[in-house]
Amino acid sequence: MQDVNAAPIVVMTAGGLNPQVMINALAKHFSNIHVIVERPESKRQILRRRARRFGWMHAVGQLGTTIAARLGKKLSTRRASEIVALYGLSGERQPTIPLTKVDSLNDADCRRLVAQLQPRVILTISCRLLSSETLAALPCPVINFHAGINPVYRGQMGGYWARIGHDQGNFGATVHLVDKGTDTGGTLYESRVTPSKADTMATYPLLITASSTGITVKALQDALAGTLKPYAPPGRSVLRFPPTVWTWLYHGLTKGIW
């Protein structure tokens, strides 16, 4: 009898601590993982795209928050280490897990690599949206790990927006199928967690990721077994973006939510 946990799996990401924690957790359950890491989008690319959508002032304000969050990560290394240890995980790169770097997950080179690897399932985590052309070329189900509860916290910083909205019951993660939209594919599993007073926007995503490795393992096992059961969760659909730096400061100073 074939061991489905030995079937080829591809993980697509732009890299970072959170994806590495997830990859290491998956490696405890699956023996045939290949990681494809794309070059992260530059701040200039992100700024221009958001300026087209929101206008330059709003886009610059969002960039300010992104910079503040990155600085916050440097100040939150102790809490990050606590989170990783709490769930018995590791954020260190494992040299035994094959890794290939590409410029973009939407490049032809990436599609050719996937065709060679012939995965049974693909997991995306912390990366850009896959184009329609790329999705059409992929030979298997594509599953995304999203640090937010769909559909009300699609997009970015789902945990932060749940706290701002006094919606603690929806502070968590969704594992879902990938389609042409932004976090709009059918939900497979959800997981919720309670942040501590030490957590901020800099550590919310790591806490959500570390506490949700189990549902990701389940979704991949379902895909390998051919038993995926996506469903449409209730609730209004809202696409979230990073707050502007002045919005972030306001909520931090008035509500203590950073």
Domain count, the chain: 1
Per residue in 182-235, pLDDT (tens digit) is: 999 999 999 999 999 999 999 999 999 999 999 999 999 999 999 999 999 999
What are the angstrom distances between the C-alpha of 55 and each of 46, 52, 59, 238? 13, 6, 6, 20
- Residue 130 has what DSSP assignment? P
Q: Using CB atoms within 10 A of its CB, is residue 5 exposed (0-12), middle (13-18) or buried (19+)?
A: middle
Asked whether the bond before 151 is cis by omega within 30 degrees of 0, the reply is yes
- Residue-range definition of the domain harbouring residue 203: 4-255
The CATH number for 161's domain is 3.40.50.170
Per residue in 29-74, pLDDT (tens digit) is: 999 999 999 999 888 889 999 999 999 999 999 999 988 888 888 8
Q: Using CB atoms within 10 A of its CB, is residue 226 exposed (0-12), middle (13-18) or buried (19+)?
A: exposed
pTM: 0.94
Rounded Cα distance between 114 and 141, Å, is: 12
Q: Which residue carries 């300026």 as its tokens?
A: 51
